[in-house]
């Protein structure tokens, strides 16, 4: 198992569950916007289009590829934490001493299973926001041929996501144990099979590549650059060549630091770039931007070289409860968040993935980018009031 740590809080797993991957809260939940216009004026947005009745979507319109994990959540006791050397509010990568933890969790406690991992979470939220048709969202990633893999397939199906996993026998399905004590969660991620994705054995197969070609919007978290940069590049170039939308997430500071080369190979194909303030600051340092101002970082990132000039790049940085920042070719706009009542906030770790999912759910409909951000804020506001990246049966977004 590869131990790739990084991210906010200093211990985020490269490709783990939402919290194990990101290791930081992103609370983005609201409101209007303010604009800093530059000399050239123009409408902010990836596409034109006014808000109106939603057109009918086809299946597989949204494509995501990443590190699938089975989230295993349970309320545990202090003895269980002590046995495995876990702190009450922490996120770590599984080590040798945690080998039995996952099985013991299932045997001793009442567990809930969820399809997890950063990209899969975002795709799942997008599908929830879209509702119909089922399977509007496709997901690719690698799992093991085992019990947890079967549960993960079932959970993806329950979320109405069209998941096509590359199944192999060498490594077990990736898991993330969420050990809950009172209002704390200790997360232990075992990436395992998630690290084993093979482009030539899955993405390149004709039946799978046809699903890639069906999509209009593509999303991959930066974590996947640690697993299969060649797969990311193949999807990105396909999107660009066909004037479709390719989106990427900075995901964690260590991606910009230690996977700079694959990231910057993909960047010219990126139409929408997501990140949070910590990731943006690290990216700026690595790129030599010589500024700590998040608006200026967004502006400079937006202006990086781009292959498909038919689409302007959009850069979106969330900042927890501070304003969300968006840079387009013509302006930098800030969107204040509507901070939820502190007593209602249960778990902020899923907010970043949920924001992306909400955003993508409107992007596939060709909605103006301001509507995409509003949907992102809505989705994040729902997820932070629940444990893990979970949601009610239906959204209440209008």
Give the residue numbers marked as catalytic: 353
| Beta pairing class for 5-6 and 162-168 | unpaired
Say how many C-beta atoms besides its own lie within 10 A of residue 42's C-beta.
Answer: 12
The pair of three-digit structure tokens given for residue 169, joined into one six-digit string:
């026998």
Sheet containing 272-276, strands listed edge to edge, beginning at the edge strand earlier in sequence: 34-37, 331-335, 322-327, 314-319, 272-276, 245-249, 217-221, 62-65, 137-144, 162-168
Are 246 and 270 within 8 A, CB to CB? yes
The Cα–Cα gap between 13 and 54 comes to 38
Interatomic CA distance for residues 321 and 318, integer angstroms: 8
Length of the chain: 398
What are the helix (H) ranges across the chain? Answer: 18-22, 78-83, 101-108, 118-130, 147-158, 206-214, 229-241, 253-258, 260-266, 277-287, 294-302, 351-363, 369-383
Distance of CA 71 to the CA centre of its chain: 15
Instruction: Work out the end-to-end distance of the chain between its first and last CA atoms, rounded to an integer number of angstroms.
Output: 44
Strand partners, 137: 62
Alpha helices in 242-304 (DSSP H): 253-258, 260-266, 277-287, 294-302
Identify the CA nearest to 111 among candidates 148, 86, 75: 75
């Amino acid at each position: 198992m590869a131990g790739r740590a990084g991210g906010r809080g200093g211990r985020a797993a490269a490709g783990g569950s939402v919290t194990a991957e990101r290791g930081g809260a992103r609370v983005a939940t609201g409101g209007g916007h303010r604009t800093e216009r530059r000399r050239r004026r123009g409408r902010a947005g990836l596409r034109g289009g006014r808000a109106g009745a939603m057109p009918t979507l086809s299946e597989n319109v949204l494509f995501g590829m990443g590190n699938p994990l089975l989230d295993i959540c349970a309320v545990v006791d202090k003895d269980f934490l002590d046995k495995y050397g876990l702190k009450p509010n922490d996120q770590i990568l599984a080590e040798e001493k945690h080998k039995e933890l996952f099985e013991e969790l299932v045997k001793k406690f009442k567990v809930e299973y969820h399809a997890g991992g950063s990209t899969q979470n975002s795709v799942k939220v997008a599908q929830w926001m879209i509702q119909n048709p089922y399977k509007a969202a496709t997901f690719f990633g690698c799992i093991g041929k085992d019990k947890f893999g079967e549960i993960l397939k079932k959970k993806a199906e329950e979320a109405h996501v069209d998941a096509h996993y590359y199944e192999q026998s060498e490594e077990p399905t990736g898991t993330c144990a969420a050990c809950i004590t009172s209002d704390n969660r200790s997360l232990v991620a075992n990436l395992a099979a998630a690290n084993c994705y093979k482009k030539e054995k899955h993405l390149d197969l004709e039946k799978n590549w046809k699903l890639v070609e069906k999509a209009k919007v593509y999303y991959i978290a930066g974590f996947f650059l640690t697993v299969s940069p060649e797969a990311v590049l193949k999807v990105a170039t396909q999107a660009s060549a066909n004037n479709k939308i390719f989106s990427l997430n900075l995901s964690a500071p260590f991606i910009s630091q230690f996977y700079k080369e694959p990231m910057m190979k993909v960047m010219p194909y990126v139409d929408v770039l997501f990140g949070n303030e910590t990731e943006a600051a690290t990216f700026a340092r690595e790129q030599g931007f010589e500024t700590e101002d998040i608006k200026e970082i967004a502006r400079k990132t937006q202006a990086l070289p781009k292959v498909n000039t038919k689409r302007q790049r959009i850069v979106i940085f969330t900042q927890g409860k501070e304003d969300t920042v968006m840079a387009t070719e013509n302006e930098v706009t800030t969107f204040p968040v509507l901070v939820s009542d502190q007593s209602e906030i249960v778990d902020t770790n899923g907010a970043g993935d949920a924001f992306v999912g909400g955003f993508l759910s409107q992007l596939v409909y060709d909605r103006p980018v301001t509507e995409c951000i509003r949907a992102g804020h809505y989705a994040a506001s729902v997820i932070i009031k629940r444990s893990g990246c979970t949601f009610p049966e239906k959204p209440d977004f209008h």
